[in-house]
Structure 1
């Protein structure tokens, strides 16, 4: 079966029609693409199906730089209390008492023996004539024990001034009359020391 032969004018008309249809279709597709595409300059947040959009934000770090430790607090200076000067009590000396006068140091339960003072000892001291002629003088210290009955026991020379004066000092001490010491109101033995002074008569008168 033979196809009808198209003339040149029909071919041109069909071509023009097809061209117009293709242009119209291209324009429709272009307009649809422009309409569906997002506007320029606008951020598109990605979305995940089944999850809410996650908003991203910048989290500022809260960690602070660790400051260096403060230096230790210095200890306050220690103020020492001012020393209090305690004055020593003044001691009054009674010139009427001799060097060997008895001083009561008892604490209420103990009492020292009493053998009198210097005057009592001087009245019992005998100056040897040979010592006077020789011009001998000096001090003799005699240690002795006062017994429970007041007697003088065991006199000895602690510091002598020659044989003559030592013997005279021992005799003077043996002649002393003493009151025995007491402890808890009971008589006890106690040790004493006496100094016998031998001075030439002119010095004794001037003393």
Structure 2
């Protein structure tokens, strides 16, 4: 048998009433709060003590009186000697010049001018007519004597020699730029030093030209 609540015990039907009563009471409390005078009855005043008045006296700046500088001392008189009178020398206007008489008081001759050293001729790298090896590179290769140390060690390769061909076609200052050692570098310089060239020319004149040659060492 199902139980049912009575109308007095069912509170859901009274919710709107309770809400309206609560809102009315809240509104009444707000009106009363705004009308109350919340200011304190007893008011107090802050009394400030009187401060002492300090008077600042203006200090008058004393003016410094500048003393005038003392007058300069009078100059000390200096005795000036009497002007000496030069006696007139007698000039012998009738004197004659002896041409045959040797001159003694002559200045020394100027030193001889030093001879200026002639500048060294310029060394060219590229000229209008390059030096020409007489006999070709084969003439140098024929002069090569294979070093015994290189033969025993089986050293082969190419030695690059750099040198200067002068105005007469001679080889000057040969140096090894890239070598292989075992005596081959020295033999390449010896063979190149004996080579002869037709000198290079610039503007029709023989000049010094820097060149490089490869010397090949190969075992047969």
TM-score by length of 2: 0.40
Larger helix fraction of residues: 1
TM-score by length of 1: 0.43
Greater CA radius of gyration, 1 or 2?
Answer: 1
